[in-house]
Amino acid sequence: MEAKAVEGDAFFIVTRGRSRKGFCRGCVGRVEGETPSGELLGLVYNGGRPKSRGIVRTENTCPLTRHQAQLLLFVTTPSKRLELLCNAPLFKAICDLSQDDVVVVKHKKGPQPGRVKNLMQIGRKESDDELHMLGFEVEFVDSDHTLSSKKPVPLPMFNAADIIRVVPSASVPLGLHWKNGQYGALNKKAVTRISSMPSAGPTGNPRHVKDGKEPRRARGPAAAALEVGSMVEVVSSSGVTVYGVVRWLGVPLRKTEEWAGIELDYEVTGCSDGKYGNQRYFTCKANTALFVPVTKCSPDSRFACSSMGPETRRSTDTPPVPSFDDSAEYAPPIPESEALSLLVGRMKGIQGHVNSCYLDATLFSLFSSSVTLDNIWQRPAEAEQPITCSLRSIVSCLRRQGFVPAESVTSFRKELGCNTFQTDEKDPEEFITVLFQKVLCIEPLLKLRSRGETSQGSYTFQIIVEKEQMGQVPTVQQLLDTSCLSSDLKFEEVPSCLMVQMPRFGNKYKMFNHIIPSTELDITDLLHNSPRECFVCGCLAQYECFHCLPDRKLQPGRIKQYCSVCNTQVHSHPSRQGHSPKALEVPADVPCDTPVPRHVMQLFAVLCIQTSHYVAYVKYGPDPNSWLFFDSMADRCGDDQSGYNIPEVQACSEIGIFLAQPEEELARASPSQAPELVRRLLCDSYMFLYQNPATPSSKPSHEE
């Protein structure tokens, strides 16, 4: 049977799936037909020129208008196209740009504001199959918000992905003018100015102008609904709009009315780092804190919702809830190369609903990118319980689409069997035990042995220490070592996954103000009946001394084990003669000079809690800076009855940069001076998740 032809122009971008017959994720194509099985026959573009033809599944694509396709083709990197497409409000605003609209663009000097002057056609169209790519000429705005009169010609050109903010223009949106002829060159392609900026199709909203001025939105009642965390916009006296998040509300010193402290989306000269006058009200990056009376704040029009009046609500500005793919077909963990384009943005990750943050953060941490538990999904789906199939569908949807709606998670919570899982606040360790025991049917991940006793199974490891045993700023490694030695516990074998719970009780109590994450956890000296290395000479150790652990002359915080000779010498010192070293159980067949292999586990996620709300940090690849921050309830659209939560995933490379510092510098670091996401990691950590790269597997409970 022949493929069915498609009438008219229909374009698409491949959003997921493996490369197949000419198509890969992020490539743009034009529909030429449809196979009997429903797949698309398409023409793939390289720049504006057709490259090849191929076949792709319809569900792996997102439809585009011609204008959208032309804008995305000028974005040369496929991952950047997908990242822009994921930010639906921004992409729509870019498609709707008019002349003299104010935008903020990426620049080598940092984010720069400017006005759009022309929409540019790039490339010579030599055949009907070719497409003009589209870019924007932007005239920069000086720091005093006036157009620079000394900018050289030609004006700089930017693609759609270079635009990071679109600001509603306060000027009259004049129509663009034809300018005939060729303009310079860009990668040796012809560039032409065109007369209008088409909208994205039927969703475009034309501007209505009266008496030469653009109408302003009504303000006032919305300001009364502001709270910390609200997304707002502020219009300056010169007509430039800035956007940000409310971080503080109150009456500043020497003021009589209520003001808002706003953390802006980008740096603006003259703003602070959270100070107003000489008083600090919150902490953020330099030049991003703005303080204004609350009467000057309005809800962010890009994400308008039901808190605004019906005449000003625009549902297209709110991220839509994507459809749920309930396929239980196996989907591999999201690779590092695809994580940012698939996961980063609003309405990404797992959507929270009614106290589900503990569950959302845990599932996202365990299953989005980590391969530790991936062998679970290799079992035949037919042999699974219904609740396991539900979890499989959630994981598959997260890995394929980058989003799981609240409805699917709510159904899963009902299947857990206890009503409190549907409505109450829970802690991750309680859910983890049910998840592994009842849903995944996996044996305890940890086998712990105390001296002279049989091993005990557990899914998580609770740190138990006395505050006096530790320094003010302990690392996870130091906490684990001290807890194991003081409780006389050893691991019977190297676990595939080690989840270490910090010494705190929810959001009510924490023993340490902040804890330094250990990116690697060496458990060699915490293994039962395993060869260990003498702390002094490196030979096979035969004794271990808990009392030497805090010794300031012997690297405090490090586990100390010694060979017979070094044990005698170390404990001959007057300050150590009262110590009680214990003999180690050493395999009889191990030579004294044998090299001791190190068993090191790698950090892949951290669960944090602040004011009863759990969030997650997830490492999505081997690169040290490949970190994501996930919040299942980052924002909300609508009221408590009819609205819904907006989950968000952010890239946070600053975590990797911070943790790359030497341990001594990390211990001296002040969380208040660190970036906000780094501060939250240090101060709010609840559970650290580690994986064993050598054995990424877990044994089902029914196996022997």
Strands of 532-599, DSSP E: 543-544, 561-562, 582-583
Give the Cα separation of 9 and 70 in Å (integer): 12
| Structure-token pair, residue 551 | 């010794």
Give 467's contacts (C-beta < 8 A, 6+ positions apart): 511, 512
Task: Residue 617: name the closest of 685, 567, 524 by CA.
Answer: 685
Question: Which residues are known to be catalytic?
Answer: 357, 613
Q: Is 598 helix (H, G, I), strand (E, B) or coil?
A: coil
Contact 329, 257 (CB under 8 A): no
Q: What's the one-letter identity of residue 83?
A: E
Contact 494, 651 (CB under 8 A): no
Handedness of CA 565, 571, 577, 581 (dihedral sign): negative
Give 445's contacts (C-beta < 8 A, 6+ positions apart): 436, 458, 459, 495, 496, 497, 498, 499, 698
Task: Residue 16: name the closest of 449, 329, 297 by CA.
Answer: 329
Residue 219 forms beta bridges with which residues?
none
Give the Cα separation of 370 and 101 in Å (integer): 43
Phi, psi (rounded to 5 degrees) for 103: -130, 160
Give the Cα separation of 521 and 230 in Å (integer): 39
Give the Cα separation of 699 and 498 in Å (integer): 14
Percentages (nearest 5) of helix, strand, coil residues in the chain: 25, 30, 50
- Alpha helices for 527-594 (secondary structure H): 564-570
Helix (H) or strand (E) holding 366: helix 357-367
Handedness of CA 164, 170, 174, 180 (dihedral sign): negative
Q: Is 446 exposed, middle or buried (0-12, 13-18, 19+ CB in 10 A)?
A: buried
Q: For residues 257-282, b (16+ Cβ closer than 10 Å) or e, as one string?
A: eebbbbbbbbebeebbebebeeeebb
Residue 192 forms beta bridges with which residues?
121
Other residues' Cβ atoms within 10 Å of the Cβ of residue 321: 15
Interhelix angle 406-415/386-401, nearest 10 degrees = 160
Q: Is 438 exposed, middle or buried (0-12, 13-18, 19+ CB in 10 A)?
A: middle
Give the Cα separation of 364 and 425 in Å (integer): 18
Other residues' Cβ atoms within 10 Å of the Cβ of residue 622: 9
Q: Is 143 exposed, middle or buried (0-12, 13-18, 19+ CB in 10 A)?
A: exposed
Residue 63 forms beta bridges with which residues?
12
Residue given tokens 């122009």 in the structure block: 9
Strands of 153-213, DSSP E: 157-158, 163-167, 191-194
Cα R_g (the chain), whole angstroms: 29
Helix (H) or strand (E) holding 209: none
Q: Is 677 helix (H, G, I), strand (E, B) or coil?
A: helix
